[in-house]
Amino acid sequence: MYIKKNMNCPHCSHTNFKVTDKRDSPSGIRRRRECLKCKKRFTTYEKIERGELYVIKKDNRREKFQREKLESGIIKAFEKRPVSQEKIQKMINEIEEQIRKRGKKEIKSSLIGETIMKKIKKLDKVAYIRFASVYRDFQDVREFKKELKNI
């Protein structure tokens, strides 16, 4: 049993409670708590804080890594495809983890793009072509055909 004293119960504002359950979640740690005064239960989440990661763009600009941008591009590629959100989120988590495991504070956008392309290609070929057409900036049908032959 673990007693926590640096937060308040959302029901009675008491500061003493115990942790009844602890689980890992995709975003960090989930704890189920019980107030020692009113006996009501509530859930808290602890997010693991990661170091800053910067992306080096094609034009050599640096910008902070934004998971939301990564997610947005991938979700657009899978729009109306028969792939579950669970699989897409799992893939996004794997991509971010792979990028962060490199242990560097800066990463080239091209490396991120290629990592995404490999993962998408394994999951859905149509989504791969959609993503590739934007990422590689296809200008005409020949470029589409060339990429389709590579699949």
3-47 has which fold? N-terminal domain of TfIIb (2.20.25)
Question: What pLDDT score was predicted for residue 49?
Answer: 65
Question: What pLDDT score was predicted for residue 20?
Answer: 94
pLDDT tens readout for residues 76-118: 999 999 999 999 999 999 999 899 888 889 999 999 999 999 9
Q: Cα separation of 43 and 33, whole Å?
A: 6
CA 50 from chain centre, in angstroms, equals: 12
Concatenated DSSP letters for 26-63?
TTEEEEEEEETTT--EEEEEEEPP----EEE-TTS-EE
SS3 6: coil
Q: Give, in order, the Cα–Cα distances in Å from 97 to each of 5, 7, 13, 34, 136.
A: 33, 30, 37, 33, 23
Q: Cα separation of 39 and 16, whole Å?
A: 11
